[in-house]
Structure 1
Amino acid sequence: MSAVDTDDDVRDPWLPDLLLRTERDALVPLLRRAPEAAYGLRTACPGWTVRDVLAHCAAALVRIVEGRLEEGVFLPAANAADVAERADWPVARIVDELERGLTEAGPAIAAGDGTLDTVALGEWIHAGDVRDAFGEPGAYGGHSLSLALPLLRTASRRRDTPRLIAAVDGHTGPLVLGGEVPGRPAARFVGDATTLIRLYSGRPLVATRYALTGATEPELLIYR
């Protein structure tokens, strides 16, 4: 994986599409072979089962595909309404809708102004929530991790998290996240990339090892 070590924000409009399609190829086969009972497992998202997470992910992507992006569409109340709307759907229908969204949302995101780029990151993190609930190894890692990290950088800046320089295992240089705060030195992180994802997304950090100085965990959250 290459280092993200400059302040230049050069948008790659097709990066979200690549991340979504890569995740589709990894996640959908896992979902197709999972037993029905697995969809009732609780996830890292408070109050949501695997089924709920997938319903939310599918609904969000199909809204993008169909251009149904009214004000407040991704706020908690709207997310809950989307999940409730799918409460009586067979699991296979939810997975079908998710597969469609993962396949078709990328071009719609690429055609936009970049506002929706980090939706792809959220979808990938939710896929990690599902893998984590299933007990799969490397829940927030895998081949698509290198695609997710640049979008984490974008999200960390848009959510006004403080500047952080991360020394990440396997990287040839530092990852520079967040934005500069006048008069405040950059925070420092040492650890692996999957733990960095957990830290910024508010996922459980049990059994992880990392060092964080110059910032608190709540300051880094991109989902609040």
Structure 2
Amino acid sequence: MSDLRDVSDVRDPELPGLLLRTERDALIPLLRRLPDAAFAVRTCCPGWTVRHVLAHCAAALTRVVEKRFEEGVFSPEANDRDIAERGERSNLAIVDELERGMTEAGAAIAAAPDGRQDGIALGEWVHAGDVREALGEPGAYAGPGLAPALDLLAAVTRARGTVPLHADLDDRDDPLRLGAASGERPPARYLGPAPTLIRLYAARPLTGTRYDLAGATEADLVLFG
């Protein structure tokens, strides 16, 4: 029997690594130019500074590379422990670990069964946007990683069977299909900028944005916060 799935439903195992390396090349040079005071700037993540976010991201990727996934990993308590374990390291040492993780984690994520770690790469990219926004950098959730991030977002939401959504993006020629491939409810509709769509799925602040959403609420779209 022929495979009647949409080709867009087929997982691309190289996509998470591509996103991480693309973001590495954009973010790491910025971080290496920062004065130490900038690492203490608060981000949109409650209680976390730029340093906390980077330490969390570095720890998560190190776990992926080393295949360390003990029970409760990535819980708020485990995240706080990972950050605390890096408390004596310099800011640049944390940046070094993050760079290694962004370079090496793609292969491990690609090899994970059923794409179960793909969302980690997407979360890392969103956190890079959190850092850029906290530092006042332009294009917090945009930049060279936006195109692969959107493709990965579509893949992750389909894999997790979230609310179906048809997105017509101001800054992308072709529409994006997200969420469950089929179901009882018709797809919701989104019209607006791609970075704002990222903010919706990542539960990031929407102050100053403009978009149209029909057939779903903001809460329906939250993938992770």
Output the TM-score relative to the length of structure 1: 0.93
**Range moving further from structure 2, 63-72 or 34-43:** 63-72
Aligned to 2:15: 15
Q: Structure 1 residues 8 and 19 mapped into 2: Cα distance closer, same or farther (>3 Å)?
A: closer
Deviation by residue 1:11-49 (Cα, 9 ceiling, x = unmatched) = 111111111111111100000001111111111111111
1:180 positional shift: 5.4
SS at match of 2:62: helix
Runs of 5+ unmatched residues, structure 2: 1-5
Question: What is the identity, as a one-letter code, of the residue corresponding to 1:99?
Answer: E
Structure 1 segments (4+ residues) deviating >6 Å: none
Aligned to 2:146: 145
Indicate the RMSD between aligned Cα atoms, in angstroms: 1.5
Aligned to 1:156: 157
Output the TM-score relative to the length of structure 2: 0.93
Aligned to 2:25: 25
SS at match of 1:165: strand
Please tell me whether the aligned partners of residues 9 and 158 of structure 2 are also in contact (alpha carbons under 8 angstroms).
no
Aligned to 1:122: 123
Distance 2:192 2:7 in 1: 22
Question: What is the identity, as a one-letter code, of the residue corresponding to 1:176?
Answer: R
**Range moving further from structure 2, 192-201 or 178-187:** 178-187
1:158 positional shift: 4.0
Q: Structure 1 residues 118 and 36 mapped into 2: Cα distance closer, same or farther (>3 Å)?
A: same
1:149 positional shift: 0.6
Aligned to 2:109: 109
SS at match of 1:98: helix
Q: Answer yes or no: is 1:167 the counterpart of 2:154.
A: no
Deviation by residue 1:132-162 (Cα, 9 ceiling, x = unmatched) = 0000000100111001011111222344421
Runs of 5+ unmatched residues, structure 1: 1-5
Please tell me whether the aligned partners of residues 161 and 181 of structure 2 are also in contact (alpha carbons under 8 angstroms).
no
Q: What is the total number of aligned residue pairs between the two structures?
A: 219
